[in-house]
Amino acid sequence: MAVRATRRLLRDVLYKRVISTPVGGVRHCSSIAETPPKIPHFSRKGRLLTGVTIGLVIAGGAYVSTVDEATFCGWLFNATKLVNPFFALLDAEDAHRLAVAAAARGWVPREKRSDPSILGLEVWGRKFSNPIGLAAGFDKNAEAIEGLLGLGFGFVEVGSVTPVPQEGNPKPRIFRLRKEGAIINRCGFNSEGIVVVAKRLGAQHGKRMLAETSSTSAPPSDGKKHGGKAGPGILGVNLGKNKTIEDAAADYVQGVHTLSQYADYLVINVSSPNTPGLRMLQGRKQLKDLVKKVQAARDEMQWGEEGPPPLLVKIAPDLSKEDLEDIAAVALALRLDGLIISNTTISRPDCIRQSPMAEEAGGLSGKPLFNLSTNVLKEMYILTRGKIPLIGCGGISSGEDAYKKIRAGASLVQLYTAFAYGGPALIPQLKAELAECLQRDGFKSILEAVGADYR
């Protein structure tokens, strides 16, 4: 079986059975099967290197598969480290596209081991096997949800999705600061649009429903549904607005009407620094008006027993104390379901100013963002008095980092840049480290540790 899989993968890579399209190119189709994720064009040498690497991984996996499943699974995740140097040689955006395509095609390991029970928690009535999620921006067009959830994330957030397809900003628009563990991007909501994304999410949702109805396994002993609408993990959908549209609320409302039925939670992204005027929507009046309109659009739809998906707002880290107070007041007054803290920063901390890439325009993510985003998280936890679930995002690269976010007030955490550099092997590592942190300090669950530093 491993030999056949190796041959298929080598044939796909070496003979380019998948044809690539320009980044940001809009694909129109009548079925999901006709829109596979695109793989960037590489030289013959690059394809050969990829094929040989994949072949070695699978061949080694065939050997290790003679041992127990947990050992085999661990080997597969560690084996992905062999591929990381190859991705580092590619253009940043090409590497990103290849990673999404690999996850969409199942060329990534699948986590078979159960998460430590101490990491399980319930937020918004949804059960998370662990609190570590993949932030929006990686799978912008919902191409690889099953593969990404299969890696062991507790939840995956797709998007940002805009109503109308748009290419985003001119390239180059993604810049690595590898030494600093950071990335600067100015993508500008490059999106295939809600129609294409809705088709993919609809297919995924249908697959999930079919699996549930045909399953012969007994329901969970606690009577609660495990996972979400897309599979074993929870799925978030991040909504954006088109660059040329002045009526932002109309764009977000359209996103809600089209995509909310497939989401376990929804996010209003008003904090990307790469869409002109977007961050102005974080003002008290603007945010209040926007959230009310989006909530009304969601609530007017027909929902079953589970009710409508929770609605969150993703905010920037570059906000004053007064800005944060205004956002907290709106969130409490309108009973917002949650906040994501934070998006990328337009500031340039001292630790990266010597980098030749530091002058590039765009949002900075990764390790240099950690302290800034965690301080904003702490402030928002205090301002909302712990009444609103918070997702901590920005600079997480270890289980200890995730733990600090949780102690600062986050119920859930997200990463992106560290995953881009570390690959799949980082996920089980983070979960193990986080479990060790909780046990070290005597906590019996994630929820016990939420906001521990400020309670």
Main-chain phi, psi angles of 38, to 5 degrees? -85, 140
Query: Which residue of the set 160, 260, 272, 397 is catalytic?
Result: 272
> Among the residues of 236-283, which ranges form H helices?
248-259
Torsion (CA) 333, 339, 345, 349 in degrees, nearest 10:
100
Written as one string, the DSSP assignment of 84-110 is HHHHHHS-HHHHHHHHHHHHHTT-S--
Handedness of CA 193, 196, 199, 201 (dihedral sign): negative
The answer to whether the CB of 370 falls within 8 A of the CB of 396 is yes
Note if 365 is an active site residue: no
- DSSP letter at 191? B
Structural element, H or E, at residue 282: none
The answer to whether the CB of 353 falls within 8 A of the CB of 372 is no
The answer to whether the CB of 309 falls within 8 A of the CB of 263 is yes
What is the C-alpha to C-alpha distance for residues 83 and 57, in angstroms, rounded to an integer?
Answer: 9
What is the C-alpha to C-alpha distance for residues 410 and 403, in angstroms, rounded to an integer?
Answer: 9
Query: Which residue in 250, 394, 255 sits closest to 314, CA to CA?
Result: 394
Residues in the chain: 455
The residue to which tokens 């109805």 are assigned = 213
The gap from C-alpha 162 to its chain's centroid, in whole angstroms, comes to 16
The answer to whether the CB of 241 falls within 8 A of the CB of 279 is no
The answer to whether the CB of 13 falls within 8 A of the CB of 47 is yes
- DSSP letter at 341? E
Both structure tokens of 29 = 């189709």
- Active-site positions read 272
